[in-house]
Each structure stands twice: as structure tokens, then as C-alpha cells.
Amino acid sequence: MINIQDNLHIVDNIIKTALAEDMPYGDATTACVIEGNPVSRAVFVAKQQGVVAGLDVAERVFKLLDAGIIFKKRVADGMRAEKGDAIAEVGGNTSAILKGERTALNFMQRLSGIATRTSQYCEKVKGLPVKITDTRKTTPGLRLLEKYAVKAGGGYNHRFSLSDGILIKDNHIKAAGGIKKAVELARGKAPHTARIEVETGTLEQVVEAVESGADIIMLDNMDTALMKQAVEIIGGRALIEASGNVSLDTVYEIALTGVDLISVGELTHSVKAMDISLKFIDDKSC
């Protein structure tokens, strides 16, 4: 699984941008009100059930503000927390904790929201030979983190960017003059390390895609009856991805059609933040 600690050369920049955005000229309230150098201890508490993701990001927020902050995880990313569970503790300089609180929560709540939603989709298709995947419909600037959260929730990643996967869509097909020609062009020029995926909307296109030798065939916005026919036509000659307005209500039925992958834009484009709060506690012995 993608690891936050292994990607600090990217993640630190994201966090620094967030801190500069929230503190172009410091934390005015804390600077005025907190006197001396008090220390505090506080606990991140889940205020609803969910799957946690982003603890390493939160830790890094505090470490970048003050290397001396102690951050202790009580659960690991990918684990379910119940309402009321302590999911991590943070201790040290009070000002640093207050300054980092909102930024850390903004990351954790969003990433846990993604992980939680993903886990709900995975739950629906449990036991079926199908993978739930994300899309490129991520928040600009946060793709690495959001795709990490999808994995934490039990899902799988689709391509990361336009650079690392070949996905021939409607407009590429039109421009190239047909699926066959488009696949041929891609096969000839793309790195041999990339599989070639073709988007299809009709059974005719599915047939053409199979015959062109596409490695993966996306069934875009088909109903499940059509999907079943497509799966039969393909007959194992390509991986099959179902795509288009998938919901928690429809995912199981889609999975039953026999597709290999179901990609869900909602996982990252319409996130409901998981409710988490930071509670300061009196006992400061961390």
C-alpha cells in the first residue's frame, strides 16, 4: 500500500502549503492569548463510526510546526473506529498544538471520509470477485493522499494521472477514426509497461475493442443487462471495468454482472468528512 512516510518529498510540500494558507502571518489568537510556553495533551476522538486514514499526515503537520511534539497513534490507518474512540494523542507545546489542530483535522477528516465511504462500497460487494477502484476525479493538489485513503478503505487505485495509463475515450476514438486505429496507435507508441484500456458505450464498441486487442475494456454508463452481455462477449479476453454513476444502491447489482472492476468517482469527488475532534485533556503525562 502507498505509504505516507515513504512520500514525504511530496507530502511535506502539501502540508507546508496548507500551513502557509492558514497562517500567512501566524496565529493571531494564540500569539495574543497564550503566555509563556505551556504544554498540553490532547486526544483525537472519533465522533462517529468510520475507517480512519491520514494519521501519518496529521502527525507530520505537528512535526513540521514543532519537531518536539509527541504523536501517538491509538489505531492504524485502515482500521475502523467506533464513536467515542480515541484515535491518536498529541502532546507538547500548546501553541503548536493549537496552530496545527485545524489543518491536521482538515486532512484527517477528509481522508477518513474517503476511507469510510470506500469501505462501505467494499462491504457491499464482499465475497464477489470484483475490485472497487477510484478515478481521477480527485481534489486538485491532493491526489496522492486521496488515492492513499481509497486503499486504506479497502479499495484499489486506477491510474494516477494522464501520464501513467492509457485510457482511450470517446473523443480519442473519434479523433483517431475508430477503436481499432486508436488501439493500434497506442500499442505502437506507448511504453510497453502500460496496459491499454478502451471506453465503450455499446456492444458494437465492445466487440471492436476486444478485436483490437485492448487489455482492459471500460463499460461506460451501461445498464446491468447490457453489462452482462458485454461480459459474455468479452469472455475473459480483457479485464472489464464498470464505470458511470455507480452508487451504494447499484454497486452490488453491477458486481453480479461479472465485471472485474467498478470505478466510483464519488469516492473522492463527493466526500463526507468523518467527524473527528481534538479534545484537550488535563492529564499532561503523555
Active site residues: 102, 137, 169, 199, 220
Phi first, then psi, for residue 161 (nearest 5°) are -160, 175
Under rule CB under 8 A, residue 243 binds a copy of itself: no
| Ranges within 199-218 binding a copy of itself (CB under 8 A) | 215-216
d(C-alpha 103, C-alpha 105), whole Å:
5
CB-wise, 95 or 119, nearer to a copy of itself?
A: 95
To the nearest whole angstrom, how small is the minimum distance from the Cβ of residue 118 to a copy of itself? Answer: 15
β-strand partners of 243: 220, 263
| Ranges within 71-100 binding a copy of itself (CB under 8 A) | 94-96, 98-99
To the nearest whole angstrom, how small is the minimum distance from the Cβ of residue 187 to a copy of itself? Answer: 9
Among 76, 83, 232, 270, binds a copy of itself (CB under 8 A): 270
Under rule CB under 8 A, residue 162 binds a copy of itself: yes
Of 32-40, 204-212, 224-232, 251-259: span binding a copy of itself (CB under 8 A)? 32-40
Task: Map residue 165 onto helix, strand or coil.
Answer: coil
The DSSP annotation for 196-222 comes to EEEEESSHHHHHHHHHHT-SEEEEES-
d(C-alpha 132, C-alpha 143), whole Å:
17
Among 58, 85, 103, 231, binds a copy of itself (CB under 8 A): 103
Alpha carbon 269 to chain centroid, angstroms: 10
Under rule CB under 8 A, residue 244 binds a copy of itself: no
Under rule CB under 8 A, residue 131 binds a copy of itself: yes
Q: Which of 271, 282, 283, 284 is nearest to 115 (CA)?
A: 271
Burial of 274 (0-12, 13-18, 19+ CB in 10 A): buried
Phi first, then psi, for residue 83 (nearest 5°) are -55, 125
To the nearest whole angstrom, how small is the minimum distance from the Cβ of residue 101 to a copy of itself? Answer: 9
Under rule CB under 8 A, residue 159 binds a copy of itself: yes
Residue type at 245? N
To the nearest whole angstrom, how small is the minimum distance from the Cβ of residue 138 to a copy of itself? Answer: 7
Of 20-28, 70-78, 84-92, 227-235: span binding a copy of itself (CB under 8 A)? 20-28
Binding mask 49-68 for a copy of itself (x = CB under 8 A): ---------------xxx--
CB 258 within 8 A of CB 241: no
